[in-house]
Every structure is written in structure tokens, then in C-alpha cells.
């Protein structure tokens, strides 16, 4: 296992997790890590590399209707035994608009990370919940129905029509990467 080789797998419905993942990759590469990113929605199971070839593994998913992205759920379910045996550093993050709310942050981590990983009998070295990105612009990848649902839950923000509301805390992403690197160096 190469101690400078990191695998990041993620699932994203509309592209916000991909942006977070790319930022994580940039930060790791600045610290001389080799990083491979895999969008689980764009790859077949037989194309997945063996996680044991990496010293660190990061899994990221979005949350919609209280659910992980389907490809991430499938990956965790299918790789459960390999994840249990994995000796490298494992990190997991979710991205949810509700995680940006300090009053909901801990419950988001508990509900969408700890309880779900526990269901599979998995423990991770590091977990985090980042705010999401609500893209209601005409260029958005969201369906009309998804936009309507987001408009309803985002009424707390000023006029959301045709706007992008970015609730991601990039400093929190940087701290997550810093903590991950610290765990790798132990």
C-alpha cells in the first residue's frame, strides 16, 4: 500500500459533491498525495480499483429526501466486507443543505452518517457534514419537480427564484482535509 495514495469515491446528483471532491483532491495534492477520484454513478463495479491499494479512502454523498445517492449506498453495501477489513484511514462526508444550519448539524451527522454506517457495521476514522448547494438557476441540472421541492424548503432564504444558494463551508472542507492528513501521518 502506497502511503501517499488516496481514493475518493462519491455520488452526486447535480454536481455539488463533485465540486467538493475536486477541492478535496486539490488540497491533498498540495500536500504531495496522489489522488484518484471516482464518480460512482459513472463506473461499473468491475472497474473499481481495490481499496487496499490506497492508504486513505474518502466516500462522499449528497442527501435527497433523506437518502444517500443510490450509487454510494450500493458501493457501501457491496464493499461492506472490504471496508470492514480495510486498514487505511477511512473518511465519510455528506452534503446537505440542512448541515449548514448549526442547530441541525449534529443531527444531520447522526442521522445521515453514524446511523447509516452503523447499519452496515462500519466505523470510519473521520466523518463530516457539509452544507449543500441549492441551484435553482435556469442552468441547473435539477428537474422541475426537484426545483419546486427545493424552493419550498429554502423559503428561509431571500428570493430564491433562479438563484444559486451555496451553503458549502469551504473552510470546513479544508479542516476536514487537514484532519484527514493528520490521521494519515500517525
Q: State pTM to two decimals.
A: 0.85
Residue-wise pLDDT for 15-56, tens only, equals 567 789 999 999 999 999 999 999 998 877 668 899 999 999
Residue-wise pLDDT for 89-142, tens only, equals 999 999 887 788 889 899 999 999 999 999 999 999 999 999 887 666 667 666
Helix (H, G, I), strand (E, B) or coil at 42: helix
In the chain, list all ranges with CATH 3.40.50.360: 2-132+168-184
Phi, psi of 126 (to 5 degrees): -150, 135
Q: Which of 60, 83, 64, 54 is nearest to 129 (CA)?
A: 60
Helix (H, G, I), strand (E, B) or coil at 68: strand
Residue-wise pLDDT for 64-85, tens only, equals 777 898 999 999 999 999 999 9
151 or 176, greater pLDDT: 176
Provide the pLDDT confidence category of residue 62 given band limits of 50, 70 and 90: confident
> How far, CA to CA in Å, does 7 sit from each of 114, 131, 156?
21, 22, 37
Q: How far is CA 147 from the centre of its chain?
A: 21
Q: Which fold has domain 2-132+168-184?
A: Rossmann fold (3.40.50)
- Helix (H) / strand (E) containing 151: helix 144-153
Amino acid at each position: 500500500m502506497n502511503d501517499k495514495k488516496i481514493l475518493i469515491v462519491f455520488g452526486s446528483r447535480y454536481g455539488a459533491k463533485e465540486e467538493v471532491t475536486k477541492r478535496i483532491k486539490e488540497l491533498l495534492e498540495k500536500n504531495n498525495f496522489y489522488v484518484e477520484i471516482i464518480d460512482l454513478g459513472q463506473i461499473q463495479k468491475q472497474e473499481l480499483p481495490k481499496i487496499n491499494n490506497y492508504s486513505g479512502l474518502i466516500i462522499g454523498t449528497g442527501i435527497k429526501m433523506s437518502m444517500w445517492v443510490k450509487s454510494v449506498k450500493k458501493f457501501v453495501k457491496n464493499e461492506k466486507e472490504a471496508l470492514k477489513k480495510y486498514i487505511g484511514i477511512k473518511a465519510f462526508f455528506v452534503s446537505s443543505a440542512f448541515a449548514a444550519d448549526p442547530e441541525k448539524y449534529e443531527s444531520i451527522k447522526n442521522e445521515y452518517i453514524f446511523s447509516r454506517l452503523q447499519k452496515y457495521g462500519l466505523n470510519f476514522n473521520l466523518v463530516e457534514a457539509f452544507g449543500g448547494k441549492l441551484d435553482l438557476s435556469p442552468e441547473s441540472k435539477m428537474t422541475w419537480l426537484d426545483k419546486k421541492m427545493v424552493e419550498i424548503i429554502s423559503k428561509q432564504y431571500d428570493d430564491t427564484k433562479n438563484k444559486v444558494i451555496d451553503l458549502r463551508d469551504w473552510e470546513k472542507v479544508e479542516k476536514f482535509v487537514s484532519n484527514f492528513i493528520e490521521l494519515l501521518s500517525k
